[in-house]
Structures are given as C-alpha cells and as structure tokens.
Structure 1
C-alpha cells in the first residue's frame, strides 16, 4: 500500500515531505511489530537493543557508556535499561578493572537464551524486507546514510 493510502493524504508539499512522512510511518510500523513480539517475552525494544549489543561483545564485558554510544535510540536511559535487565537476570555488572568509576556489563546465559528464542522472530521481521532485493536494500541504506551525513556536515 502507498503512503498516500495508508495515511489518507493525496498531496504533499514536496517529494521530500512525502519521503520524511513515509520514513516515519514505516519506522513506526516496524516498531509496532517489534513491540508486540517483545511484549510476549517481557522486554522492550530498547532492552532488546542492549541485549543485542551485549551479545555482540560477548564474552567480553562492555562499559555502560559504550553501550549508550551504540544504542539505536539515542534518547534511551541506558543505565535504567541495564538495571531492568539486571533485575530480570539477563545481564550482570561489575566494576571496571581499569577504571573504578566505570561499570562493565556482560550478558548472562539467561540473556543469551532469550536472544536465541527471539532470533526466529527477528529473522521473520527481516524476511518482511524481502519485498525488495538485496541491491535495493543496500541502495536505501546508502541513501539514508547520505541524508544523515548531510545533516552532520551542515
């Protein structure tokens, strides 16, 4: 379905406005799918993002500040998210050996097991992208990178 049909808007000020609204609408569409899937496992998409980062770092620990830099949602309160994962026993933390002011975080076996359960669901979301080719996916990603780079250069 087109963005025009989905939001019941026929005319846009410009192709750029259409693109911006389409990006926001599509991003929200993807997020709604994820929220439902993660809710079944009692985690949020931000908590999943932290677990994904921890798994990528595993078996090495990672500082909270480094997790914050890698978050998809830059407005997330990383410390609060980690606290919730600690309560759920999905992550563990300890003082950083070379910087006592910093805290190291590592994913637990329970966290790794949860991600294994979530992997098929995440793979299914990725398969939703099969409506476009690998080349088209690469092109869209490159164009999105270009938009963000132009903002950083201004």
Structure 2
C-alpha cells in the first residue's frame, strides 16, 4: 500500500469511528430519562456506581469520565446540590476528598442505566452480530491501550 493510500485509510478509519460514535450518542440522547439527568451527569453517577469501594477522589473520577477537571468539579457541586452524590474527607489525608453516590443517586443511576442499556442493545444488535461486537471491542481496546501505553 502506498503512503498516500495508507494515510487515507488511516484518516477514513478515524473519521468513521468518530462519526459512528457521534451518531450513537445523538441517538442515545433521545432517551427520555436523560431529561431527568444529563448524559454527562449520568457518566459521573455510572463511574461512581462501578467503583468497588463506592468512593473516588475527584482526580480518579476525572480519569473515568469525559469531562475536564474544572467541568467535573462544577458537575460534582451540582450533583451534590441535587442530593445525588456526597463528599467525605479521606481518613489518611485530611486534605483529600472522596465522592460517592447517595441512596437517591444510586437509585437514579440504576433506573437510567436500565433504560440506557436497553437502548444500547437495540442499536448494537440491529447493526452488528455477536462476533462483530467482539471484534469491535477488541479493536477499540487495542486503540485505547496503545494510547495508555505511550
């Protein structure tokens, strides 16, 4: 393959990945429950729900969501004001702050999560076979690892 053809394949592949992600997100944002909690807010609630201890430092939360550090701080403030998350001081480091779900936050995450997963399944199952989903998972994981390993 020529260098020009390789460059074109690389950029076409990237653009295809990006456009499919944007199309999926636009479709998923149509979910009525996302009027109750925005998708970025849900991202925070979901990340906290997956944490084994139930608590994360802000910088750890930032590693798991698609927000910048200043945005996540404001998001945490808003979610705390709504009674969906809570903060506590780190025992070993009094300056450190941990963030975790409240009971209301955990309930909302589960409610939205069930509808969200159903919507994702409808989209994915209509477009891809199980084998294709496995290939997609392997390829996107490989891309992410190549960046994390740099």
TM superposition score normalised by structure 2: 0.79
Q: Mind listing any 5+ residue stretches in structure 1 that lack a counterpart?
A: 1-12
Q: Deviations over 1:35-94 (max 9, x none)?
A: 3335421x22221111011112266322112111222x1535221111111011110112
* Length, aligned pairs only: 140
Do 2:54 and 2:101's aligned partners in 1 also have CA atoms closer than 8 Å? no
Q: Mind listing any 5+ residue stretches in structure 2 that lack a counterpart?
A: 1-6
Do 2:83 and 2:104's aligned partners in 1 also have CA atoms closer than 8 Å? yes
Distance in 2 (CA, whole Å) between partners of 1:101 and 1:85 is 21
Check if 1:75 corresponds to 2:68: yes
Match of 1:100, SS state, is coil
2:143 aligned partner: 147
RMSD over aligned Cα atoms: 2.3
Of structures 1 and 2, the one scoring higher in RCO (CA 8 A, sep 6+) is: 2
Match of 2:62, SS state, is helix
Check if 1:129 corresponds to 2:129: no
1:116 aligned partner: 110
